[in-house]
Chains A and B, each alone.
Chain A
């Protein structure tokens, strides 16, 4: 482990030590406030930085998947593209439709970005690196996540545009439907760890058997929970294949059709930051947070592991966006209520059984058998009514 040598320990805690060093310049009564401000500044600087990097990575990656080069004009390999995009969005005219509700139209992107940034407060991005170690940290994250729905509605309604309103209604319906499996699938980690605190959930996964870690994803209920969480997270963040609320080919851009310039950039930022925070929580709940994937790799600093996992998640999201077609509205709703919800409820039962069956192979067999059986049966029953085949058109024949 990293504790073996002082250098690696210091390297692991370099940001914590830096914070203490800066704090030491201030009087004692001011130090907690200064520490909090430093943490906020670090979050507000780091994650938008990753956002800038992700925009160029996403366009490059999608370009490769679509057999083209992607951005390659600004800077070496197009790496300075986000800077150009930022300058463009800052200098663009800010257009507000004449009939729009100006106050609500202005507030919507602000509310979204604030709510999304608040979610990072309880995300442990390294050993001793969490802004607020709340007793109900996970609940805080979901509460804040729920309030982003309202900003989406505000944007769609205040624009006085039918596409915006349609997109907002779709987005809210989708986010509410997928919030249920998102919450229920994360409850299994809480049940086993015995705490809602994100720090304690990460600590509960920090042991090793041999060289392999005790991540929750390596258990039957953990794997099912992780898969359900990722699908629900994709839908919560309106990422492809659940990007119906934006649906550029049908709704122009959904709820932010009438936004331009920097407000549009704020929506873009909010959406990507939401993706990062929810991916961060998937990592925290099921992938061991900042823990190393193998015990022999313990010398690498904890924050490096967190960001490595985060970038893997981002790459996965980009890969999915380049691969899957968009779902239809009825498929989206059916999937949420008829598949995701029963599976996540059953997963709760399996996690409870896991807790009370005790050590041994019986809980592995029971958990895997129940989940696989349910997956097979549910999939079969639901697919029977799908009538897959050539698409029939009601009006456009």
Chain B
């Protein structure tokens, strides 16, 4: 125990914060993306320490399996990832700092105001089955809205990728 925190927690937090710092400070964009993946993994480990198996594994599946790959693909498809050609301190860094501070303040305010008055005495035991039942009963409307949103995104992607046959004929 260090300052009332377990050693494992301290180690995972250091890993998570170090990954986030590296993602912000490294010069090479692909290196940044890979360090961001370390942060995602660290967050997943934090969830697992809190006995939130489902959240932890979903974090790995969605963020490392999909979001990180998406980020990396976006980097490769948009600009040369070989040579780092721009500085990390650009002229707009002041605005960047202001936005980051604003977002952080908003999130921190939301977290602090939503905290319960007294810490929970014991960690709640939530099984995957309970999460499934909650999703299928109380939260079925949000779930369906997310499903519709994803379907719209999928159809939109297909339409964007579709060859424009009619315009080609008109030429």
- Residue of chain A at shortest CB distance from B82: A160
What residues of B have a CB within 8 angstroms of the CB of A172 in the complex?
69, 73
Instruction: Check B65 against A195 for contact (C-beta < 8 Å).
Output: no
Name the one of A135, A143, A179 contacting B127, with C-beta atoms under 8 angstroms.
A135
Cβ of A102 within 8 Å of any chain B Cβ, yes or no, is no
Of the stretches A7-15, A147-155, A215-223, the one at the interface is A147-155
- Whether the pair A176, B53 counts as a contact (CB closer than 8 A) is no
Q: Would you call A204 an interface residue if the criterion is a C-beta within 8 Å of the partner chain's C-beta atoms?
A: no
Which chain A residues numbered 155 to 207 have a C-beta less than 8 Å away from chain B? 157, 160, 165, 169, 172, 176, 179, 194-196
State the interface size on chain B (CB cutoff 8 A). 24
Is B76 in the interface zone, CB < 8 Å from A? yes
Report how far A135 CA is from B126 CA in the complex, Å.
10
Interface string of B66-85 (1 = CB under 8 A from A): 10110011001000011000
B69 pairs with A139, CB closer than 8 A? no
| B128 adjacent to A136 (CB under 8 Å) | yes
- How far, in whole Å, are A134 and B51 apart by their CA atoms in the complex? 11
Selecting from B55-63, B92-100, B105-113, the interface stretch reads B55-63
Q: Are B128 and A135 in contact (CB under 8 A)?
A: yes
Binary interface encoding of chain B residues 122-133 relative to chain A, with 1 for a CB under 8 A from any of its CBs, else 0 = 000001110000
The answer to whether A142 touches B53, judged by C-beta atoms less than 8 angstroms apart, is no
* Distance between A195 CB and nearest chain B CB, rounded to angstroms: 7
Asked if B60 contacts A144 (CB within 8 A), the reply is yes
Q: Is B15 an interface residue (CB 8 A)?
A: no
Complex contact A146–B53 (CB within 8 A): no
- Chain A residue with the shortest CB-CB distance to B73: A172
Q: Is B32 an interface residue (CB 8 A)?
A: no
* A179 partner, pick from B37, B65, B128, beta carbons under 8 A: B65
Closest A residue to B60 by beta carbon equals: A143
Q: Can you list 23 A-B pairs, Cβ within 8 angstroms, ordered by A? A: A104-B30, A135-B127, A136-B53, A139-B57, A139-B61, A140-B57, A143-B57, A143-B60, A146-B60, A146-B64, A146-B65, A147-B64, A149-B65, A149-B69, A150-B34, A150-B37, A157-B72, A160-B82, A165-B76, A169-B76, A172-B69, A179-B65, A195-B128
Report the bound CA distance from A196 to B73 in whole Å: 31
B81 to chain A, nearest CB (A): 7
CB distance from A183 to the nearest CB of B (A): 9
Let me know if B104 is at the binding interface, CB within 8 A. Answer: no
Give CA–CA (A135, B65) in the complex, Å.
21
Minimal beta-carbon separation of B131 from chain A (angstroms): 9
Residues of A contacting B128 in the complex (Cβ-Cβ under 8 angstroms): 135-136, 139, 195-196
Q: A146 near B66 (CB under 8 angstroms)?
A: yes
Decide if B60 touches A157 in the complex (CB within 8 Å): no
Minimum distance in angstroms from A239 CB to a CB of chain B: 20
Per DSSP, chain B at the interface is helix
Q: Which residues from chain B contact A179 at a C-beta distance below 8 Å?
A: 65
Q: Would you give the shortest CB distance from A167 to chain B, in whole angstroms?
A: 13
**A142 contacts which chain B residues (CB < 8 A)?**
61
Cβ of A161 to closest chain B Cβ, rounded Å: 12
* A176 and B57 contact, CB distance less than 8 A: no
| B129: chain A residues within 8 A (beta carbon) | 194-195
Complex CA distance for A179 and B69, rounded to whole angstroms: 13
Residues of B within 8 A of A196 (CB): 128
Q: How far is the CB of A315 from chain B (nearest CB, A)?
A: 30
Complex formed: what's the CA distance from A143 to B54 in Å? 11
Give 18 new A-B contacts, CB below 8 A, not counting A136-B54, A142-B61, A147-B65: A104-B31, A134-B53, A135-B53, A135-B127, A135-B128, A136-B53, A139-B54, A143-B60, A146-B61, A147-B60, A150-B68, A153-B69, A154-B34, A157-B76, A157-B81, A160-B82, A176-B66, A196-B128
Chain B residues in 8 Å Cβ range of A136: 53-54, 57, 128
**Which A residues touch B66, using CB under 8 A?**
146, 176
Considering the chains assembled together, what is the distance between the CA atoms of A172 and B61 in angstroms?
Answer: 15
Residues of B within 8 A of A145 (CB): 65
Bound form: Cα–Cα A194–B132 in Å? 10
Q: Taking A150-B68, A160-B82 as contacts, is the C-beta distance between A143 and B37 under 8 angstroms?
A: no
Nearest 8 pairs between A and B by C-beta?
A146-B65, A143-B60, A143-B61, A139-B57, A143-B57, A136-B53, A147-B64, A136-B128
Once bound together, how far apart are the Cα atoms of A157 and B73, in whole Å?
11
Contacts of B58 in A (CB 8 A): 139, 143
Chain A contacts for B60, CB-based, 8 A: 143-144, 146-147
Q: How far is the CB of A356 from chain B (nearest CB, A)?
A: 14
Residue of A with least CB distance to B54: A136
Chain A nearest CB, measured from B31 CB (Å): 8
Chain B 22-53 interface 0/1 with A at a Cβ cutoff of 8 Å (1 = within): 00000010110010010000000000000001
Which of A135, A160, A176, A195 sits near B69, CB closer than 8 Å?
A: A176
A22 to chain B, nearest CB (A): 26
